[in-house]
Amino acid sequence: MVPSNQKDSCERSMDHTCSTDKTELSSNMVIEALRTEHEKEQIIAIAKEAFPLFHSIFVKTTPHTLVAKHNGDIVGGVIMEILDRNCTGNGKGNVGIISWLFTSQSSRGLGAGQSLVVSAVEYLESLECDTIVTVIDGYNTSSSKIFSHNGFKLNTNTNVLINLGFKDYFRLWAELQYYFELGHFLWVKGIEPSKEESSGFGLAWVSNIAIVSLAFISGFGLSYGLENVQYPIIALLIFLIYRYLPLKLITLLKNEKWVYRGWHNGYPLSSVIALVFGTYLPMTGAQYPATHKWSYKGKLDSIGIGYSISATLMLVTLSLLLLYPGFVPEILWNSMFLIGISFLLFDILFIFTPFQFYAGKRIFEYNKWFWALFAVIALMIIQRYFAIFL
């Protein structure tokens, strides 16, 4: 998680690493342990500069914190945790966790982020960590490139679970707060990834169907009857197709290999929201280039056009349903809006942290005027629906 450009990448990625690296390492860069309270205050100040408020308030130093100094001035830091597996007597190495990585804007081009990652790996390996883990936003290619260069590989939850076992796997989730890192993926050094490049849309779609069914039963089962659960499922499948198909066709036309990766770590949170509030938090997953060394900026046109078409399909469908409410059965009409409004909110309107991994942010960064038009229409649809519903 080491974005290469403070303005573009830090605002885009919003994950736990924010670096301004882009060029060669500086000979005046020194990496050393965090020592004093004054240095701690400096590190926290840089973190607040690097991250949005939603993330910066959670940055806390640990005994395993390194700082980068350039000409004596602190310009970045890496905060780590260690998952001690030796205490269980299983003879397995510890798991190192890179929790936060960030550099100041003034250190751009000095190689502070790269130096911190190299030093962090050496430090954790010296403490018997044979596995090192971090999490990276799926669109944060600046980070993934740096970690990939240092031996980290994108890994699936299933593969990490198999290698660590249930107990240590869920301890890892707790240390990473991975259940809140929606749209992020595990990057691991020390565990070879499975041959499967994609988690597939099948599992993602089935999981979302289960979550929507839970939301319907919890929120509307008594009023609509459990036998009508197929209607929100039909509505969900329509919107999932809208979201998936345009970008898929674009990548096929360009003869590019993209893979579908589910946001599996978001299923527990989405399920809890469905059960408690009877509403749907989309955890659809997304399509990403198959290569791990792709450039977000280089693919933004494809992503932006694909999701703009998706948004258009969603808005046109819901607008027609408002104009012709008797065209479909009432329960399907209501289901289309119950599901559709969730997509309007998260895939169009919400472009800020912590929702930056949804399609709305991609549209906004591709063309702000497109996004503004879509947002106005989405708000009008939501207002009109609640005027009718209430």
Distances (CA, A) of 68 to 37, 104, 149, 150, 321: 16, 10, 19, 17, 57
Percentage, residues of the chain above pLDDT 90:
52
Distances (CA, A) of 380 to 63, 219, 373: 51, 25, 11
Mean pLDDT of 107-127: 89
The β-bridge relationship of strands 17-18 and 94-103 is parallel
- pLDDT tens string 31-65: 999 988 988 989 888 888 877 766 767 788 899 99
Mean pLDDT of 97-101: 93
DSSP string computed for 347-370: III--STTSTTSHHHHHHHH-HHH
What is the pLDDT at residue 21?
Answer: 42
* CB of 289 closer than 8 Å to CB of 256: yes
319 and 354 in a single domain? The answer is: yes
| 248 domain-assigned | yes
Out of 22-26, 63-67, 251-255, 363-367, which region has the weakest mean confidence (pLDDT)? 22-26
- pLDDT tens string 308-356: 999 999 999 999 999 998 888 988 999 999 999 999 999 999 998 888 8
Which of 126, 156, 189 is the last residue in one of the domains? Answer: 189
Could you give the 3-state DSSP secondary structure of residue 299? helix
- Comparing 14 with 251, the larger pLDDT belongs to 251
Mean pLDDT of 164-191: 88
What is the pLDDT at residue 219?
Answer: 79
- pLDDT tens string 347-390: 999 998 888 899 999 999 999 999 999 999 999 999 999 988 76
149 and 16 in a single domain? The answer is: yes
Q: Does the pLDDT of residue 123 top 70, yes or no?
A: yes
- CA dist 159 and 195 (Å) reads 10
DSSP string computed for 304-338: HHHHHHHHHHHHHHHHHHHH-GGGS-HHHHHHHHH
Which of 189, 219, 236 is the last residue in one of the domains? Answer: 189
135 and 225 in a single domain? The answer is: no
What is the pLDDT at residue 88?
Answer: 47
What is the pLDDT at residue 24?
Answer: 43
For residue 30, the cross-strand partners are 69
Which of 189, 216, 242 is the last residue in one of the domains? Answer: 189
Q: Does the pLDDT of residue 233 top 70, yes or no?
A: yes
> How many folded domains does the chain comprise?
2
What is the pLDDT at residue 157?
Answer: 85
185 and 220 in a single domain? The answer is: no
106 and 12 in a single domain? The answer is: yes
* CB of 265 closer than 8 Å to CB of 173: yes
| 196 domain-assigned | no
334 and 298 in a single domain? The answer is: yes
63 and 140 in a single domain? The answer is: yes
What is the pLDDT of the chain when averaged over all its residues?
86
Q: Does the pLDDT of residue 176 top 90, yes or no?
A: no
pLDDT range class, residue 86, cuts 50, 70, 90: low
What is the pLDDT at residue 142?
Answer: 86
Q: Which two tokens stand for residue 6?
A: 């403070």
DSSP 8-state code for residue 346: I
Cis peptide before 63 (omega within 30 of 0): no
- pLDDT tens string 151-164: 999 998 888 888 88
Write b or e for each residue in 159-169: b if 16 or more Cβ atoms lie within 10 A of its Cβ, otherwise e.
Answer: bbeebbeeebb
- Comparing 23 with 301, the larger pLDDT belongs to 301
Most confident of 13-22, 56-65, 221-230: 56-65
**Which among 155, 110, 171, 143 is positioned nearest to 16, based on CA atoms?**
143
pLDDT range class, residue 7, cuts 50, 70, 90: very low
What is the pLDDT at residue 18?
Answer: 57
Structural domain of 213: 201-389
- CA dist 294 and 282 (Å) reads 26
pLDDT range class, residue 16, cuts 50, 70, 90: low
159 and 229 in a single domain? The answer is: no
**Which among 55, 66, 68 is positioned nearest to 104, based on CA atoms?**
68
